[in-house]
Amino acid sequence: MFKAVLERVRQKHRTIKYPAEPAVLPELFRGYPRLDPAKCPAGCKVCTEACQVDAVYHANGLAVDMGKCLFCPECERACPVGALTFTRDEKLAASEREDLVVREGEERRLAHAMGKELLSLYGRSFRLREVSAGGCNACEADTNVLSTIGFDLGRFGIQFVASPRHADGIYVTGPVTENMRSALLKTWDAIPSPKIVIAAGACAIDGGPFHGLPEVHNGVDKFLPVDLYIPGCPPHPLTILDGLLRLLGRV
């Protein structure tokens, strides 16, 4: 016991101070896209051709759909003039699907807080039941990290629970495979109303790299009304935390 106390003293306080202090992210982290279409040569589409999931496209200008984006560096590497780059900004979550589309010159629309009635219920104590609807376990792993001492999700009153009967909402990862469709809907039905739906990761939002395959349903909003979209492949733990705190009106 004495050795354990000494070790805690040596390690000191290990929980990050986010969001009170800015996020500290590695240089290789790819966050919110920055677009500068003025640099694009006329007719150049090398970035769109480099994207394997059609997240980058031209429609009245250059656009990036973060709901589809896997945040790989291929489009950025392909662009010879730096018209498309990724910043180290971890704030990506949105309340509406269309708000995940980034266009140059358009106002950035981050997630907003749930309604006043729901905030009165869940603002201080928010419980989620996680459903891996056919995911590869990357989104699940980065979500689990939030419960460690480094992030300490519980200090915000947010916890993941084992039973949907104890949950205030459902947190979905994966593209919703046909094999998981029934389990997802049964879990949703078991959660007492009013309840929240969170789609975490490119798969849960739009099918990710599995989009269009006959075995998947290309995301959860085909079945349930999504209140919060958290893009990424997988989303960084701080991106998830930022989205959850915005939903609860903490940011």
Supply the DSSP symbol for 177: B
Domain interval for residue 157: 116-247
Q: What is the structure's pLDDT at 69?
A: 97
User: What is the structure's pLDDT at 111?
Assistant: 97
Q: Is 123 within the bounds of a domain?
A: yes
Burial class (CB in 10 A: 0-12, 13-18, 19+), 123: middle
pLDDT band at 20, cuts 50/70/90? very high
Number of domains in the chain: 1
pLDDT value at residue 3? 80
In a domain, 6, yes or no: no
Give the pLDDT confidence score for residue 70 in this predicted structure. Answer: 97
Residue 95 lies in a domain: no
pLDDT at 132 over 80: yes
The CA-CA-CA angle for residues 30, 33, 36, to 5°, reads 135
